[in-house]
Structure 1
């Protein structure tokens, strides 16, 4: 069995050399062309001093070049550091500095000046350049990638993954995301985030990645109609925009839609099933255990089974899931606690942070997720909140996701996020931030018969849209900021 990404890519690029690997813009590239180009870029990186184990940062927008550099780094046995192009400039520079990147491959169109050796996109070696001369291969325990957490509660942390974990997550992903050789994957979210792992899967399987610079509802619908797309990755907000953009009944050739970041609301799911069919797979993971901690399968997406739709599925094929209480002891089904995961693709550790690494791990390879939830009798994981997100009002725990699910049932609510705001008596009070067409007093009154008194929003505000992080999740830090300004703590 191959135990490094470089070996996986090399074998796949040769095996599928005459098939189409990538489509981007109006062009396409075969696996053989990606092979030649990536080896030329690998030689270019080596000429800039990159050796096995050195970090190479990719500050690139979506495009074929990202895939080429990704493969080149793996062929060298170097360490990939993807820098999300949506991140602020200071955060991008922080990531490059923290990883001590030997070289940064950067797109000047992003307008971010990064110190150190930089290969600009326009100067990237073309496929006619000299190919990489093979060197001694790295082992499965060598570093393969350093990913960074979202950073919504402070500086992002570097999450180190080895070659063995990078390969293991691909094996899990090929099975759980149901990627097959004749699939055409539409990738619209940043390749520097989860979509980059799906592009790797497509290469390894021999499928085709259709890469778009970003998400646009009309553009995605056009691609689904005209480009033979069979597989895509979305966050629920994107799915809602697709449904809203449809003018009438249509037929699409989608076989699989993988989504994450949040569950699909039952009403929207019923409509999505009518339009796209039984194609939905929900993933749950985190940067420290990428993508496949749990999986909600296609046949679980049944509007008649709200208990299943409330969950994020059961343990992935190569993962274990458990819930621990305050004393780090496992708790039985139905009891709420911190969700923990174990798999061959958990992080090696946090970059230059042994204290955070020690705090992350429990005995026997388990890691803490920081998420609060419970397992039901069928082994389905039900998330209730992130620990840092939970509102404690008058000593009572309020799980924001539960309140959000109830408020989302109001027909005039398009989106809602619940946060804690300061309160002199209770420490925190529940506050709803709503996208919709209704009066906030009406919503507060409507919630009275549907939520416990301590969990009901005490205030609400209407906004045009909810802010999101560069990773597509609602940015609750940004929502809380104006309410907690001038205070030492952002919780009550």
Structure 2
């Protein structure tokens, strides 16, 4: 099985991927491997002719992994999305195609037989570019996929035209990071049809929509750790059989992907994701949930987003630290966390920012933000 690497710099025309991707999905051409770094290499042999794409993980917390996605897995994901949204339609591509959320816009468009629209990204994501691209859409049914940082920028000081076009979308998929109560409230106040998604490259992107798994997807919580099963699972990691065996396991006759996320399942099958397992910060021998601290901060008036991390501390071993977007007094943050979670959960360092450093896919760059917090101690 051959592999077709496709370099996708910022000025890349994403529609150049449609023809080779269509051939790969039909089993009539090599697997495609969109990538951003000019020096990226693809080491290892594809396991079979069923692999249609190799997509790198975001690398937000470590080295990106090259995930092999099969024809059947991509088809199952596209079909599950169509069932969940109860329609197929035209998609607006607002994310890089070398990340799974952007790549899936092309996949869904091919399966639906519609031609996507893409915004110009040579200057990065801007509300103006999004509005211009959305205005060029022609189909009656319209979708797009965003990350919270993008939606925050769109709603920070929106023009009437931007709001009109955002409302015109039948659904806006939002994933890659938690939405946060403040952004959720703003989106609701503008009557936007948001679907909060959960997933990763290893599941062909979002596989849980508004807490409900896509058709054919199963989730279990094992000691608080989520594992995912179903036809959307990747074949594994290119050139890394050891990591593949560690993360993709067989249990009870079924293949599962072991996530690094904590979560609970309700009796009706819906899922609540609490964040990454390693978001538990042990400070002064006490455990603090970074997700819970973030939730408290994001519930405060004036806060748009918050990211809570642990940073090295001589006194505490690891200290709680928070990066915050918005206009809020730092002492109000400390008081709120103290009241809700106790003194040990209060961030020792709080930095207010105009915007988070982000990865090319739009996710907050946790390593860059951690470095900012460490310098601010």
Q: Is the 8 A contact 1:179 1:201 kept in 2?
A: no
- Of residues 173, 176, 201, the one that matches 1:261 is 176
Q: Which of these two proteins has the greater Rg computed from alpha carbons?
A: 1
Matched residue, 1:17: none
Is 1:59 aligned to 2:7, yes or no?
yes
Greater RCO structure (CA 8 Å; 6+ sep) = 2
Matched residue, 1:240: 152
- 1:107-165 deviation digits (Å, cap 9, x = unpaired): xxxxxxxxxxxxxxxxxxxxxxxxxxxxxxxx986222222122234332221222322
TM-score by length of 1: 0.67
Matched residue, 2:32: 80
Structure 2: runs of 5+ lacking an equivalent: none
Shift of the alpha carbon at 1:178? 4.1
- 1:348-380 deviation digits (Å, cap 9, x = unpaired): 222222221121133221110111122234433
Q: Is the 8 A contact 1:178 1:256 kept in 2?
A: no
Matched residue, 1:158: 66
- Of residues 98, 101, 116, the one that matches 2:43 is 98
Q: Note closer, same or farther for the CA distance 1:225–1:158 as it changes in structure 2 (3 Å cut).
A: closer
Mapped to 2, the partners of 1:267 and 1:97 lie a distance apart of 41
Matched residue, 1:474: 364
Structure 1: runs of 5+ lacking an equivalent: 1-52, 102-138, 297-312, 326-336, 486-492
What are the equivalent positions in structure 2 for 1:237-316 lying under 5 Å apart? 237-248=149-160, 251=164, 252-277=167-192, 279-296=193-210, 313-316=211-214
Q: Note closer, same or farther for the CA distance 1:154–1:239 as it changes in structure 2 (3 Å cut).
A: closer
Higher strand share: 2
Matched residue, 1:192: 98
Shift of the alpha carbon at 1:460? 0.9
RMSD: 2.7
- 1:173-196 deviation digits (Å, cap 9, x = unpaired): 22224442xx33211111222122
Matched residue, 2:53: 145
Q: Which moved more, 1:412-421 or 1:217-226?
A: 217-226
Shift of the alpha carbon at 1:212? 1.6
Mapped to 2, the partners of 1:155 and 1:262 lie a distance apart of 18
What are the equivalent positions in structure 2 for 1:73-472 lying under 5 Å apart? 73-74=24-25, 76-83=28-35, 85=36, 89=37, 92-94=38-40, 96-98=41-43, 142-180=50-88, 183-193=89-99, 194-214=101-121, 215-225=125-135, 227-228=137-138, 230-248=142-160, 251=164, 252-277=167-192, 279-296=193-210, 313-325=211-223, 337-362=224-249, 363=251, 364-472=254-362
1:448 partner SS:
helix
Shift of the alpha carbon at 1:223? 4.2
Mapped to 2, the partners of 1:382 and 1:396 lie a distance apart of 24
- 1:267-297 deviation digits (Å, cap 9, x = unpaired): 43333234244x222221111112243111x
Mapped to 1, the partners of 2:131 and 2:190 lie a distance apart of 12
Mapped to 2, the partners of 1:368 and 1:380 lie a distance apart of 18
